[in-house]
Amino acid sequence: MMFAFKYMLVILVITLLTIAISHAQGGNTLVLKEKGRTIQSWIEKDCITFRFSNTQWIDGKIKSVLKDSLLINMYRAQQSPTVFGGFRVDTTWLGFLKISINEISGMPQSRYKSGLFTNGALFRLGSGAYMFLNITNSLLKGMPLLDAANSTRLLIAAGFYGIGALQKQKHKAYLPIGKKYTMAIY
């Protein structure tokens, strides 16, 4: 009976130590949310890119996620030429940076989103091409460039170019942390 009690006590102590030591129960996860819906999450040893509060972009590997801050091992990855004329990726480790999650001011947009419709490039490209072809055809055919019908068409195309320029000015290439996008640690 005493042997069984010691055996059960050892198993209980080992189980409690395993649970206390393992980080699986820690719940230290950095989460990016859009209006309360989780978009992306990071844990320790994940690579992350974010916009710091001073507008600098930081790349790094998460060393640890604390209650309200992160410890990040910053790095810079750049291509360097090889002896054979090719390129290889060279990683330079810059050291550790401890930041609060409140100092993250933006996250990069997804690489798979085009932004062609939201940044005004389609309006600028289309209207610029139309104006170029219109002016070129008018000059080649000897037609008056600024008659009533043609100047209206050129003004409409210029208006669409202006709409595209306004969209470009309004569009951000990153997700600004604030009202719509938030960062939290769970």
- 3-state secondary structure labels for all residues of 19-36: HHHCCCCCCCCEEEEECC
38: how many CB neighbours lie within 10 A of its CB? 12
Phi, psi at residue 106, to the nearest 5°? -170, 155
* Secondary structure (DSSP) of 86-147: -EEEEEEEEEEEEEEGGGEEEEEPPTT---TTTSSHHHHHHHHHHHHHHHHHHHHHT--TTS
HSE-up of residue 105 (Cα within 13 Å, Cβ side): 10
Q: The tokens of 54 are what?
A: 């001073």
Nearest CA-CA partner of 42 in 113, 104, 112? 104
pTM recorded for the entire structure: 0.61
Phi, psi at residue 90, to the nearest 5°? -110, 125
* Res 114: pLDDT: 63
Q: What is the pLDDT along the chain (186 residues), one digit of tens a residue?
A: 666 777 777 787 787 767 666 655 445 899 999 998 999 999 999 999 999 999 899 999 999 998 888 999 999 989 989 899 899 998 889 999 999 999 999 999 876 566 667 788 899 999 999 999 999 999 998 888 888 888 999 999 999 999 999 988 888 778 899 889 999 988
Asked if 120 contacts 128 with a C-beta cutoff of 8 angstroms, the reply is no
Phi, psi at residue 12, to the nearest 5°? -65, -45
Nearest CA-CA partner of 53 in 112, 1, 103? 103
